[in-house]
Amino acid sequence: MSPFFVAIFVLMLQNRSVYSSMIRQEAKKLGFIFCGISRAEFLEEEAPRLETWLKNGMHGEMQYMENHFDKRLDPRLLVDGAKSVISLGINYFTDKVQADPSSPKISKYAYGIDYHDVIKEKLKQLLTVIREKIGEINGRVFVDSAPVLDKAWAKKSGAGWIGKNTNLINKKKGSFFFLAELIIDLELEYDVEPSADHCGTCTRCIDACPTEAIVAPYVVDGSRCISYLTIELKNEIPQEFHGKMDNWMFGCDICQDVCPWNKFSVLHRQPAFDPHPDMLNLTKSDWEELTEEIFQKVFKNSAVKRTKFSGIKRNISFLKIDN
């Protein structure tokens, strides 16, 4: 190779390093707790796992999981000329709890404004900054609403390992964070050292799951998960789960609450994720007598609206039989 081409190659590598460093710095300014970068390529290890999971019907009624199989495994089919997948995490951990311990429970992630809206806006800001500082970059932002295997990409970028409960776990941050991606057509400096698995012999998440949704280490039967039963399932909750819902009305935090690595979780600093002032103070009887007017007021911009008023009433009625 001629000295000229060597010099060009070195300059390209330097630019990749500078660009990657800049992106990480800007992500941190926007409140992301980690930012990992991977080469956009086919996820060979995930392909057979996803195929088996779907064939075993572990996605329940989530028929959309069967769509776009190839796109879920190859980001280059989502963004023309894709070169890099930027994986980001944003903390939502809180120590705030519902005042009435007998109230139907809501997962921490749904306390505040819908995370899709909050994070998507931050991703758009990050993409804007990248374009301002580097030039015209083709890219798309993704927040849990497109065929992207976010946990696989976060793992690949070194952000953590996928635990036995199939959540991404970060050694310093735990697992109470949202994941998102920015896929762009720019070569960057890639994180090539995936995190080691630190679950060891621990089985706390498996032992604690009241519906036995974690059917084997690293395998979750989504159709048995309380989050699926209270949010994704549109039909009636199967009778076999009576007495097994642990009073969860929307989502579930059990497998994260018992995870030893979440002793490292720190309180989030995102005002958007703070709960509506009325939500935590609703009593058990308030929930059982919930009106659509109160539902719309308290959950106006919340992810809880995904299950709709009728879904929440269904869930509360199902729990009422248990109690």
Residues recognised as catalytic: 144
* Amino acid identity at 158: G
Q: Residues with Cβ < 8 Å from 234, sequence gap 6 or more? A: 61, 311
The span from the CA of 132 to the CA of 176, in Å, is 32
Burial 290-322 (b: 16+ CB within 10 A, else e): beeeebeebbeebbbbebebebbbbbbebbeee
Question: Which residues share a beta bridge with 214?
Answer: 220
- Alpha-carbon distance values, 228 to 64, 297, 304 (Å): 14, 24, 13
The span from the CA of 250 to the CA of 105, in Å, is 7
* Amino acid identity at 216: A
End-to-end CA, the chain: 75
DSSP notation for 210-248: TT--EEETTEE-GGG-HHIIIII--SPPPGGGTT-STTE
The span from the CA of 246 to the CA of 26, in Å, is 41
The span from the CA of 251 to the CA of 30, in Å, is 27
The span from the CA of 65 to the CA of 220, in Å, is 14
Q: Residues with Cβ < 8 Å from 86, sequence gap 6 or more? A: 23, 27, 35, 36, 37, 181, 182, 183, 184, 188
The span from the CA of 84 to the CA of 75, in Å, is 9
